[in-house]
A and B are shown apart, each in its own frame.
Chain A
């Protein structure tokens, strides 16, 4: 059973639809107690770092997620929330599960929008192989792990190479939208759900 944290995030429906298509069972998690029924957890998210932290705190999920000891996957803003801080919301604390900051993209074209080729790095639980595949992106901020060893994949956009997937122990995050990335995204979600 995968628990999808429901705090009103915009891509909640898309994530659960993708899991349905894979035949993976899931439930919405709206309170910390419901986490105990789940073997894996997905934290979705679209929008602003500060308002997401606020909504998670309202349902007492910030501390609950910090304490969780199960595979956790953050998607898009959900991946950014895993970090300590974000330039989008100075002074607001994220989950702090992966050391580092979230910074505004400095490329000419922002948002980084569309399909880009993702190159997996190192051994990680997210990708079946080291072969680059295309995933769909729509974001203006990027995760910058303090430790390069936490980088699980990167992309190149207008000459800049940046981190788009992270893994630190049980905690993973992807800046792209696997639920909107056709077969490449489905493969990633299947792997997270089963490995």
Chain B
């Protein structure tokens, strides 16, 4: 059977890794190449790179970085941030990315998902949903969490998969960077709703949080950043805890 995946996420600005809390106060967190290799060697199943500035001026720098990464990374990696068209996605894939992540642009123009799936296949298309709770409902936000829309996370996930998303990266803004654990009930609800893998993101602070995620929800993968960046925990530490809890992992 498929193993549950552990995915370190590296937020990229220019050609450096950065990390903030709830998308604010970004601070330098190292060299992407060095970090990525270390995570691969420590058992990461996949990596996720997010271009947090996604500015046009920085694009050549990002593509060049991806080419260098693809020469040393022999595990899959996805890249997101600023993908607005099939051409944007093609640039990333040709530079070595295995999948592209889309977020704001797909909310503004959902046809983008159909176009990407047609061009590259849905296994290349990761829809990232930044969601925030408002009352009893979870709503989709855009622009790195700054703007709240009136779409619910459930409705958007369902529509996105019908249009061609091959994976859903579900990021709960309320828990992001706070390290208090994943949002379990929404994650499980979305995983039960859609027929594609769901990657949970936001809130991982300890190996136990991943045990909770995989024993209490149908998520296929867990994504985290700060827990790995500060060096306190490696992907293999988490996988050993998962194995002890009876969760299938690649060790």
Q: Are A116 and B3 in contact (CB under 8 A)?
A: yes
B76 on interface, CB distance cutoff 8 Å: yes
Stretch at the interface among A33-41, A63-71, A146-154, A181-189: A181-189
Number of residues of chain B lying within 8 A (CB) of chain A? 34
Would you call A115 and B74 a contact (CB within 8 A)?
no
| A111 in contact with B40 (CB, 8 Å) | no
Q: Is the CB of B121 within 8 A of A115?
A: no
Q: When the two chains form their complex, are residues B3 and A180 in contact, meaning their CB atoms are under 8 A apart?
A: no
A103 beta carbon closer than 8 Å to chain B: no
A111 CA to B120 CA, complexed, in Å = 13
Query: Known contacts A13-B94, A108-B195, A112-B2: does B120 contact A21 (CB below 8 Å)?
Result: no
Q: Are B71 and A10 closer than 8 Å at their CB atoms? A: no
Interface residues of A in 111-159 (CB under 8 A from B): 111-117, 134, 136-140, 156-158
A179 contacts partner chain B, Cβ-Cβ < 8 Å: yes
Complex Cα distance, B95 from A178, in Å, reads: 18
- Which residues in A have their C-beta under 8 angstroms from that of B250? 115, 134
Any B CB within 8 A of the CB of A170: no
CA distance A139 to B195 in the complex (A): 14
Select one of B40, B70, B167, B196 contacting A14, CB under 8 A.
B70
Verify A138–B2 contact, CB threshold 8 A: no
| A110 interface hit (Cβ, 8 Å) | yes
Does B166 touch A at the CB level, under 8 Å? yes
A97 beta carbon closer than 8 Å to chain B: no
Q: Please state if B123 and A182 are interface contacts (CB–CB under 8 Å).
A: no
Q: Whole-angstrom distance between the alpha carbons of A133 and B141 in the complex?
A: 40
Give chain A residues whose Cβ lies under 8 Å from the Cβ of B197: 109, 111, 113-114
A114-B121 in contact (CB<8A): no
Which residues of A have CB within 8 Å of B2? 112-116, 137, 157
A58 within 8 A of B: no
B176 proximal to A (CB < 8 A)? no
B225 within 8 A of A: no
Is B1 close to A, CB under 8 A?
Answer: yes
Instruction: Name the distance in Å between B124's Cβ and chain A's nearest Cβ.
Output: 7
Contact of A180 among B75, B166, B221 (CB under 8 A): B75
Q: Is B53 an interface residue (CB 8 A)?
A: no
Quote the shortest CB–CB distance from A110 to chain B (angstroms): 6
A155 to B93, CA, bound (A): 27
Q: Is the CB of B120 within 8 A of A156?
A: no
Residues of B within 8 A of A169 (CB): none
CB < 8 Å neighbour of A111 from B46, B72, B93, B196: B196
Whether the pair A14, B1 counts as a contact (CB closer than 8 A) is: no
B residues near A, CB below 8 A? 1-3, 5, 40, 45-46, 67, 70-72, 74-76, 93-96, 98-99, 119-124, 166-167, 195-197, 220-221, 250
If A21-B74, A115-B5 are given as contacts, then 12 extra A-B residue pairs at C-beta distance below 8 Å, sorted by A number, are A13-B67, A18-B74, A46-B121, A47-B120, A47-B121, A111-B122, A111-B123, A113-B220, A114-B45, A140-B123, A177-B76, A182-B40
> Could you write out 15 A-B pairs with CB less than 8 Å apart?
A11-B98, A13-B95, A17-B70, A47-B119, A47-B121, A109-B196, A110-B196, A111-B167, A114-B221, A116-B2, A117-B3, A136-B76, A138-B76, A140-B123, A180-B74
